[in-house]
């Protein structure tokens, strides 16, 4: 079986090449051909030896993802459905912002975190995505739309910290100067709060942004919404986020979905502001995209604005996110499910 080229970070590739009798610098040459020049045919790699060309030809697989469908929403959001080699279908969502193009990538097929509001959890985790499958989501979308993606959010289906090694390796590939050249400040990983991995993430050489799905200001409510909170309670998550800031000096994002009558009262806003006071962070209030199976409802706009204003009054940095792509089911937590029915 051939080796998937896109699984290799520069260090991994150097090691493989050296072990196979080539030089470490050959790895940079291959990275430049593949990622900078989009050349994957060994015979076109003119500055490498014949032996290395043969090695590349015989050993590497450069195939990308099979596109199943692409949907465009009125807001300019594009949803891509890809088929993996074993038939699993995943989604990636491309969003247009004034600062560039960002791609929301999927990190696992299905998810076993079981958040009570999230459609992804309706399908249990089938498997982790490989580094190559993560990288290929970017390469494929860039190719299909003839664009250069500037920002990556690991916020699609799956829990990235439950697939930690592959996600970190993916970040190394896309951040590398001869890889996809996406700056660490342009990469955001979102977690439901797997505390030990938050500590690990802070210590990584590449400092990417961290978003934490909080969604509730106390254990009682968070236990109901997110079962992971029973393993890693809210105060441990908050402590870990402080550590992340101490080490990286990067501001943490707390995501908070507004669920009507559940977590959107003014007293929740007060409790939330007490919880995160003094942390260098901002809160991203997310409109809920209702999932039929669960019965939660979306907070109406007037109420959402009140919640937002209350946080501002209490000195919290906060944004109220607008919905993107809800008309094509590409909004958060909606990925993939409907296409399987």
Tell me if 33 contacts ligand SAH by CB under 6 A. Answer: no
- Which residue is catalytic, options 104, 111, 118, 332? 332
**257 in Cβ contact with 301 (< 8 Å):** no
The residues, any chain, with a CB within 8 Å of residue 134's CB and separated by 6 or more, are 105, 107, 166, 167, 170
Q: How far is CA 243 from the centre of its chain?
A: 21
Rounded Cα distance, 45 and 26, in Å: 11
Among 286, 316, 324, 330, binds ligand SAH (CB under 6 A): 286
5 binds ligand SAH (CB under 6 A): no
Between 107 and 310, whose beta carbon lies closer to ligand SAH?
A: 107
Report the alpha-carbon distance of residue 26 to residue 32 in Å, rounded: 10
Strand partners, 230: none
Would you count residue 188 as binding ligand SAH (CB under 6 A)?
no
The binder of ligand SAH chosen from 8, 288, 307, 308 (CB under 6 A): 288
Of 43, 58, 91, 297, which one is the catalytic site residue? Answer: 91
100-139: contacts with ligand SAH (CB under 6 A): 113, 115, 117-119
Q: Which residue bears the tokens 């007060």?
A: 270
Other CB atoms within 10 A of residue 50 CB = 9
Note whether 129 and 109 are within 8 A (CB): yes
Shortest Cβ distance from residue 232 to ligand SAH (Å)?
12
Task: Select 7 or 163, whichever has its Cβ closest to ligand SAH.
Answer: 163
- Residue 307 CB neighbour total at 10 angstroms: 23
159 is catalytic: no
* Residue that is written with structure tokens 């940079």 in the block: 28
Catalytic, 91? Answer yes
155 binds ligand SAH (CB under 6 A): yes
Could you tell me which stretch among 65-73, 236-244, 285-293, 301-309 binds ligand SAH (CB under 6 A)? 285-293
Q: Binding of ligand SAH at residue 254 (CB under 6 A)?
A: no
Instruction: Count each helix (H run) and each strand (E run) in the chain, helices first.
Output: 11, 14
Say how far apart CA 85 and CA 83 lie, in whole Å: 7
Of 30 and 115, nearer to ligand SAH (C-beta) is: 115
CA-wise closest residue to 335 among 291, 298, 286: 291
Interface with ligand SAH includes 208 (CB under 6 A)? no
Q: Are 108 and 163 in contact (CB under 8 A)?
A: yes
Q: 92, 137, 191, 229: which one contacts ligand SAH (CB under 6 A)?
A: 191
Among the listed residues 137, 190, 299, 310, the single contact to ligand SAH using CB under 6 A: 190
* E strands, the chain, in order: 3-4, 60-61, 66-72, 78-83, 89-97, 100-104, 108-109, 127-128, 151-154, 187-191, 209-213, 252-258, 281-287, 318-320
The reply on whether position 332 binds ligand SAH by CB under 6 A is yes
Query: Under the criterion CB under 6 A, does residue 166 sit at the interface with ligand SAH?
Result: no
Nearer to ligand SAH, 186 or 222 (CB): 222
Residue 284 CB, shortest distance to ligand SAH, in Å, is: 8
Shortest spacing between CB 132 and ligand SAH, in angstroms: 20
The residues annotated as belonging to the active site are 91, 332
Residues that bind ligand SAH (CB under 6 A): 113, 115, 117-119, 155, 159, 190-192, 213, 255, 257, 286, 288-289, 291, 332-333
């Amino acid at each position: 079986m051939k080796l998937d080229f896109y699984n290799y970070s520069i260090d991994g590739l150097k090691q493989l090449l050296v072990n196979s009798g080539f030089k470490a610098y050959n790895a940079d040459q291959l990275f430049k051909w593949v990622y900078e020049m989009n050349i994957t045919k060994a015979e076109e790699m003119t500055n490498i030896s014949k032996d290395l060309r043969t090695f590349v030809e015989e050993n590497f697989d450069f195939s990308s993802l099979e596109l199943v469908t692409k949907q465009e929403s009125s807001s300019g959001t594009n949803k891509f459905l890809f088929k993996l080699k074993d038939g699993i279908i995943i989604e990636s969502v491309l969003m247009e912002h004034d600062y560039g193009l960002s791609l929301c990538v999927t990190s696992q097929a299905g998810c076993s975190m079981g958040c009570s509001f999230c459609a992804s959890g309706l399908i249990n985790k089938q498997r982790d995505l490989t580094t190559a499958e993560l990288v290929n989501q970017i390469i494929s979308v860039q190719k299909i739309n003839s664009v250069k993606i500037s920002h990556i959010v690991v916020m699609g289906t799956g829990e990235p910290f439950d697939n930690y090694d592959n996600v970190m390796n993916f970040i190394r590939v896309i951040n590398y100067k001869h890889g996809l050249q996406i700056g660490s400040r342009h990469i955001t990983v979102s977690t439901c709060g797997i505390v030990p991995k938050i500590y690990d993430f802070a210590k990584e050489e590449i400092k990417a942004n961290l978003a934490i799905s909080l969604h509730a200001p106390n254990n009682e409510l968070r236990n109901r919404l997110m079962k992971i909170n029973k393993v890693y309670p809210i105060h441990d998550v908050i402590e870990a986020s402080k550590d992340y800031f101490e080490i990286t000096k990067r501001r943490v994002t707390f995501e908070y979905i507004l669920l009507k009558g559940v977590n959107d009262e003014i007293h929740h806003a007060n409790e939330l502001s007490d919880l995160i006071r003094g942390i260098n962070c901002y809160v991203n209030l997310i409109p809920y995209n209702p999932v039929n199976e669960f019965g939660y409802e979306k907070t109406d706009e007037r109420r959402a604005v009140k919640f937002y204003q209350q946080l501002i009054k209490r000195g919290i940095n906060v944004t109220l996110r607008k919905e993107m792509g809800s008309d094509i089911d590409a909004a958060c937590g909606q990925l993939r499910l409907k296409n399987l029915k």
